Amino acid sequence: MYGATIRVLENMVEAGTSNSIRGEAGGALIAMRSFEFIFILYLMHKIMGITDLLCRALQQKSLDILNAMDLVSTTKAFLQTLRVDGFDILLKHVESICTQYDIDLPIMCARYKEATGRSCQQRDHITVEHHYRFDIFNTIIDLQLAEINNRFNEGAMELLILSSALEPKDGFKSLKIDKIYNLADKFYPVDFTKQEMHYLRYQLEHYEVDVPHHQEFQNVSTISELCRRLVETNKSQHYYLIDRLIRLVLTLPVTTATTERAFSAMKHVKTALRNKMEDEFLADSMIVYIERELSEPIDSDSIVDDFYSMKKPSGTTSIGIFS
């Protein structure tokens, strides 16, 4: 891909239709044929390769919390290993690529010159190797580690691990009463009174014996499906405290994927022809669009029939309602 891009830019420099196009292509070509560009390119390729599995896992609609937490740990470990042992390996690879494409190699032990190289623009004496190892390589990896640690600190990790005890997949094998109780006690103290916390444990004991062996819950694999099935079977009325806790867990913003999908949906719902749409109508329309898997089976005639069957105001005919 890199070689093909270079050839395209070279063709644009030679046969561009205007001076501006040839100039922009020439500037891009100079930047891409530099050692620093190749170094950063392959560093980001390495980092994205390490974090890709975690990113894909977190963007799934049905999130496997325990496996996701394992991926967080392994991703951090691989990034740390890359930081400690990966510079020399990456440098050799970058040098081989530069040799292949006739890109000048810097002298690593030489003094690094910033900007135009004028003495007034230079800071303390550092070598080229120091610049690439510490200013670029370590700094970029540290930023990635800081982002992961910020999103998945000890509190968040514990919250997600305790929440995994509610997962119904594989016959509720993750179900642990103590973990679920600790989840409510430690992270949702405002949502449960002391009396409710006392009663929650009894509900959990009945829940452990009842729900995992119930026929309606045999093929449930996600917490969201579990919540729906509890409502469908009316068990949410008996296990109302557990149902409340499940709904609280479902609001956890593990990633920005849900938000990103909502903004993506907004582009389809609020178009140029609908730019004066009210907020309430926009929110209702987006819910229908985002949850289209649930709304698609509902046909327009059934909606009209429901409105038609509603109690009409006195003195109003059915024709008047829809006219």
Q: From residue 130, how far is each of 19, 69, 202 by CA, in Å?
A: 39, 34, 62
Q: What is the pLDDT of residue 314?
A: 54
Kindly give, in sequence order, each residue whose CB lies less than 8 Å from that of residue 199, ignoring residues fewer than 6 positions away.
241
H or E element in which residue 142 lies: helix 139-151
The residue extents of the domains of the chain are: 34-152, 156-249, 257-322
Q: What is the pLDDT of residue 305?
A: 83
DSSP string, 11-59: HHHHH-SSHHHHHHHHHHHHHHTSHHHHHHHHHHHHHHHHHHHHHHHHT
Q: What is the pLDDT of residue 17?
A: 85
The rounded distance, in Å, linking the Cα atoms of 236 and 264 is 33
CA angle 174, 179, 181 (to 5 degrees): 130
Kindly give, in sequence order, each residue whose CB lies less than 8 Å from that of residue 251, ignoring residues fewer than 6 positions away.
none
pTM (global) more than 0.85: no
pLDDT tens for the chain, 323 residues long, are 788 898 888 889 888 888 998 899 899 999 999 999 999 999 999 999 999 998 888 777 666 677 788 899 999 999 999 999 999 999 999 999 999 999 999 999 998 877 555 555 556 678 999 999 999 999 999 999 998 988 888 888 888 888 889 989 889 998 999 999 999 999 999 999 999 999 999 999 999 999 999 999 998 988 889 999 999 999 999 999 999 999 998 877 554 455 556 667 677 777 777 777 777 887 788 788 777 778 788 888 888 888 888 766 555 554 444 44
Q: What is the pLDDT of residue 50?
A: 95
Considering only CA atoms, which of 195, 198, 226, 228 is closest in space to residue 212?
226
Kindly give, in sequence order, each residue whose CB lies less than 8 Å from that of residue 289, ignoring residues fewer than 6 positions away.
265, 268, 269
The rounded distance, in Å, linking the Cα atoms of 159 and 156 is 5
Q: What is the pLDDT of residue 68?
A: 80
Q: What is the pLDDT of residue 244?
A: 95
Q: What is the pLDDT of residue 319?
A: 46
Q: What is the pLDDT of residue 123?
A: 60
The rounded distance, in Å, linking the Cα atoms of 39 and 45 is 10
